[in-house]
Structure 1
C-alpha cells in the first residue's frame, strides 16, 4: 500500500472518530424530552416507562443510540409508508414500534454497507481502482439492507397469516362445539384459547384480554376484524360480533365458516396440484424423453454405420 493511501485511510479513521465524539457530546448536552418530563410523572407504572436506568443501558446503545435514531428519522422521511409498516407490525404481532423498526432497517443497511466496504477495501489492496464505483456500491448495499428488512417483515406477515389460515377450521369447530355444549361465547373462547396454541389462538387470547378489561365483546371482535389481513378471520370476527349482538345461533355460523374455509383449502390444493403437474412435465419432456429416444435409436444408428 502506498503512503498516500495509508495516510488517506488514517485521516478517514481520525475524522470518523472525531465526528463520533462530537455527536456524542451533542447528545449528552441535549437531553431528550422524556428524560426531562418522566421524573415528574409519578403515577406512571414502572413497566410502561420507556427510559431505562443509566446502568441498564449498554455502552453501544448509549454511544450509537442518538445516531441511529436520527438515521431512522431520515429513513422514515425518505422511504415513507408509515401506515403500511404499522399495519404489518400489528398483523405480525410484533411488539416493535415504527421507530424501532426503522432503527432495525438502519442496522441492516449498515451491515450491508460494512460488507460492501470490506470487499472494496480488500479489492483496493490487490487492485487499486477508482473509489467512486466502490462508494456507489456501498450506498447500494445500504439501500439493499433497508429494503431487505422491509421484505422480511412482509414475509413474516405472510407466514403468520398462512399459519392462522391453517389453524382456523379447527379453532372454529372447537368454538362451535363449546357453544353448542351450552357455554357462553366468552367462556367458549376462554376454553379454546387455554387448550390451543398457535398464531390464531394468540390473537383470540388478545381479544379475550380486551373483553376482560371491560371492552364489549362485539367491539373486541370488530377490532380483530379491523386489524387482521385475512378476509376469513375478518368474516369470522364479524359473524361472532353480529351473532352476539342479534342473538343468532353462533354454533351454526362457526360450523358454516369452518366448512367454507376447508372447501377453499381443497380448491386451492387442486389448483396448486394442476400448476405442479405442468411443471413436472418439463423434466419429462426435455430430459427423460430425449434420453429414452437416444437409447432406442443409438444402437440402430451404430449398426447402420458399421454396415455401410
Structure 2
C-alpha cells in the first residue's frame, strides 16, 4: 500500500510538471496578443473574460454609443467628470448609464411578468413600462453624477478657508508656492485636497505653476476657488506677494460664507415660523385656557 501511494504521488507530480511545462511553452492567445493591442484598443482587457464577456462588452459599448447619440451632452458629462476629479471617460460613464438602465429594465420586466401572469395585462403597456424603466435608470445615473459634483464642490468650499490659511502660513515661512502646497497636502485631507493634488501633479510633470492653477480655475465650479486660483496664477506671474493674496482670498471666502448663511436664514424665515404658529402657539393657548375652562365647567 505504501508503494502504491508513493507511485500515485509521483505520477501526479509528473503530470503536474508536464502540464505546467506545456502551458509555459504554449501561452494563451490573450497573453500573446494583449500586450500589443492594449494601447490601441480601449476594450482590450475584455479578452481575459472569454468569448461571452467579449460579446457582452461589445454589445454594451454599442449601446453606450447609441445612448450618447440619443442623449447627447458629452461636453456636459466631460465637464462634470472634470469638476468631480474623475479620471474616467465619457464612454465609461455611458457604460455605467447602460448598467443602471439595464438594472431598472430588469426590475420592470420582473414586475411586468408578475402583472401579466396574474392579471393578464396587455403586453404593449408593459413593454412601454419596461422601456420607461430603462430611460429612468439612465437619467437617474446622470442625476447621481450631478449630485456627486454638487456635494464635492460644497465640501471643497467648506475646506477652502482653512487650506488657504495653511498655504499662506507656509509661504510666509519662506516656502515656495509648490513646496508650500505639498506641505499643506501632507496634513490636509478632503475634496479640495484632491483637486490641489492634481495641480501639484501637473506642476511636477513640467506644467508651469500659473498654468496649473489656471487649469484648476477652469475646471472647478466653485467661484471662490476659481478666483483664488486665478489670483495665485497672476501673483506667481507678476511677483505679487503671495501671503497678502492668500489671506485676502481666505477672508473673502469667510465673508461670502457668512453672507450666504444670512441670506439662507432670511429665505427660511417663513418656514421657521410654521412650527411656531401651528405647533407651539396652539399648545401654549391650550395650556393657558385649559385650567379656566375646567374651573368654569366645575362651577356650572
Whether these two folds match at TM > 0.5 is: yes
Inter-CA distance 40–203: structure 2 relative to 1 (3 Å threshold): closer
Instruction: Work out whether 1:158 is the aligned partner of 2:150.
Output: yes
SS at the partner of 1:65? helix
Paired with 2:121 and 2:166, the residues of 1 have a C-alpha distance of 67
CA drift of 1:306 comes to 8.8
- For 1:71-123, what per-residue CA distance to the aligned partner results, in whole angstroms no more than 9, with x for missing partners? 11111111000100000011111122101100111111111111111111112
Q: 2:217 aligns with which of 211, 225, 233?
A: 225
1:123 alignment partner, one of 74, 92, 115: 115
Deviation per residue, 1:6-59 (Å, 9 max, x gap): xxxxxxxxxxxxxxxxxxxxxxxxxxxxx9997279xx69xx97622733x377
SS of the residue 2:175 aligns to: coil
- The match for 1:197 is 189
**In the alignment, is residue 39 of structure 1 matched against residue 39 of structure 2?**
no
Q: Which residue of 2 aligns with 1:254?
A: 246
Aligned length: 269
Give the Å deviation of 1:281: 1.3
Query: Which residue pairs with 1:265 in the alignment?
Result: 257
The aligned counterpart of 2:22 is none
Matched, 1:285 2:273: no
Gapped runs of 5+ residues in structure 1?
Answer: 1-34
2:98 maps to which residue? Answer: 106
The Cα offsets for residues 175-201 of structure 1, whole Å up to 9 and x where unpaired, read as 111111111111111111122111111
Aligned 1:149-188 pairs, distance under 5 A: 149-188=141-180
Aligned to 2:78: 86
Judged with a 3 Å threshold, the aligned counterparts in structure 2 of structure 1 residues 250 and 104 are, in CA distance, closer, same or farther, namely same
**In the alignment, which residue of structure 2 is the partner of 1:143?**
135
Return the offset for 1:260.
0.5
1:52 is aligned to 2:45: yes
Question: 1:275 maps to what in 2?
Answer: 267
Distance in 1 between residues matched to 2:245 and 2:199, nearest whole Å: 19
CA distance in 1, matches of 2:109, 2:169: 60
For 2:162 and 2:52, locate their aligned partners in 1 and report how far apart those are by CA, in whole Å.
47
RMSD: 2.8
- Distance in 1 separating the partners of 2:237 and 2:192: 23
- Please identify, of 294-303 and 271-280, the stretch whose mean Cα deviation from structure 2 is larger: 294-303
- 1:97 aligns with 89
Q: Distance in 2 between matches of 1:128 and 1:141?
A: 20
Distance 1:60 1:241 in 2: 52
SS state of the match for residue 93, structure 2? helix
* More displaced stretch, 151-160 vs 105-114: 105-114
| Partner Cα distance (1:307, 1:130) in 2 | 71
Give the match for residue 207 of structure 1.
199
Structure-2 change in CA distance of 1:193 and 1:307 (3 Å): closer
User: How far apart, in 2, do the equivalents of 1:199 and 1:222 lie?
Assistant: 18
Task: For 1:95 and 1:102, locate their aligned partners in 2 and report how far apart those are by CA, in whole Å.
Answer: 14
How many Å separate the matches in 1 of 2:50 and 2:259?
53
For 2:124 and 2:267, locate their aligned partners in 1 and report how far apart those are by CA, in whole Å. Answer: 47
